[in-house]
A and B are shown apart, each in its own frame.
Chain A
Amino acid sequence: MIDVRNIHKSFGALEVLKGVSCHIAPREVVCVIGPSGSGKSTLLRCVNQLEKVNSGHIYIDGEDLTDSRVNIDTVRQQVGMVFQHFNLFPHKTTLQNITLAPIKVLGLSKSEAKERAMILLGKVGLVDKAEVCPNKLSGGQKQRVAIARALAMQPKVMLFDEPTSALDPEMVGEVLEVMRDLAHEGMTMMIVTHEMGFAREVGHRVLFMDEGVIVEEGTPARIFDAPQNPRTQLFLSKVLRA
């Protein structure tokens, strides 16, 4: 489904990704962990072409995103993205946040889009917030709306960029709950996260990144219980002890 082949990415003189390759199969949930500055968010953003790679290839369903002839907007319709800071549209209601892209891009009628949005709001438990503006919502509610907004495009893959990092601790659970449901429904997901418990429980596979490369990957049990690489061991010993 997603095939990343040897991508390099630099910001000026700083090389953030130094040859990263990975593969994500349909219905697979892959969690990307690692210290900050390791390039995991950049990797995710490259998959959605929010960052352009310097070299290497990214294929989604066989289509090479790095090929300039590929219409990136069409590709992005099939790749949902959830941001650390939600990025909800503050001038629109919750409902409008969700219906905007389906109406403008997919050409749904207002009533079709609304129907779809209300089902999704039900799924994330926010039906009563449909007419509310985002600034009236708590962080956890905002992130759930952001997930519903991405799902409204009926993507084949969902990318999560540290979806709970900006939340107060008591709101992390409600967002992870929604993501857990999504994983159980068979959504293909790529999740950059610091929630090790969640990665262990929901992830099918875990990638550990450090200094711009994937240092180690494997099943959650293998990565968390028997890490092979010393850098993985060091990182896990720090975060799991806390």
Chain B
Amino acid sequence: MAEHMSVVLGSTAIQNLMDIHGFQVLSSNFSSFLWGALMTLEITALAVAFGMVLGLLFGLLKLAQHIKITYALATIYIDFFRGTPLFVQILLLHFGILPWFGDYTTFTSAVVACTLNSGAYIAEIVRAGIQAVDHGQMEAGRSLGMNYRRTMWYIILPQAYKVVIPPLINEFIAMLKDTSLVSIIGVSELTLRGKLIYASSYEPAWVWGAVAIMYFIMTKVLALFGDYMERRLATE
């Protein structure tokens, strides 16, 4: 493979690069890094997707203050998951709580922990987004005889989503970076792959540099998507 490339390019610079041990480590483990990045994306996507469902639910419950029980439940949930480190949450869920529920994998633990964490942050995003919609909109809906639920669904939420998109993409980016913590329970995402490759190669600068760049590429793509969405929402 390395030989083939140098023949095609015929350049001594490439040839020199090929001779460096760190680069050889990276190129021979390239597919492993890619699988790791894919796993990172998978956990993030699942966590944020489920987190949005949880966040919408708990955000609404947090707003419906007159229903005391669900309000208290939502407050406890949000406060706990925002007030403790994700790292500890992962350990607690994987070793302390999920074993009660029988069969589970490290991947399941990772997704559950990240989902619950993400849901708490998204709940606050949803709450803030709904509160940003002019109060007169709820009054107008209600004055037409629509109940709270209908007004929320047809009037408030379609307007709140514009406010919610930018912080939601921030949450996506933050979660993507934080999934590196699930390496502690042995989920072979990008960081754990990096740890293993580093352990067998002793090329810290090359390996961790490559891991950092891969995280950066993923978050940058998300950030660019966020900018695009923000511009689109602004013109709407």
Contacts and interface: CB of A to CB of B under 8 A. Distances in A.
Interface of A: 48, 50, 73-74, 76-81, 83, 85, 87-91, 100-101, 104-105, 149-150, 153
Contacts of A90: 159
A101 B145 contact: yes
Given A73-B145, A83-B139, A87-B136, 4 more contacts: A76-B142, A89-B141, A105-B150, A150-B144
A155 B141 CA distance: 15
Contacts of B159: 89-91
A85 B137 CA distance: 10
A153 to B, nearest CB: 6
17 contacts: A50-B139, A73-B147, A77-B145, A80-B143, A81-B140, A83-B139, A87-B134, A87-B137, A90-B159, A91-B158, A100-B146, A101-B146, A104-B146, A105-B144, A105-B145, A149-B144, A153-B145
Contacts, number: 59
B30 interface: no
Given A87-B136, A89-B137, A91-B158, A50 B143 contact: yes
Interface residues on B, range: 10 to 19
Contacts of A104: 146, 150, 154
B49 interface: no
A74 B143 contact: no
Contacts of B128: none
B218 interface: no
Nearest to B147: A73
B145 A89 contact: no
Contacts of A76: 142-145
A73 B150 CA distance: 11
A175 to B, nearest CB: 17
Nearest to A98: B144
Interface string B132-167: 001011011111111100100011001100000000
Given A90-B159, A91-B158, A100-B154, A85 B144 contact: no
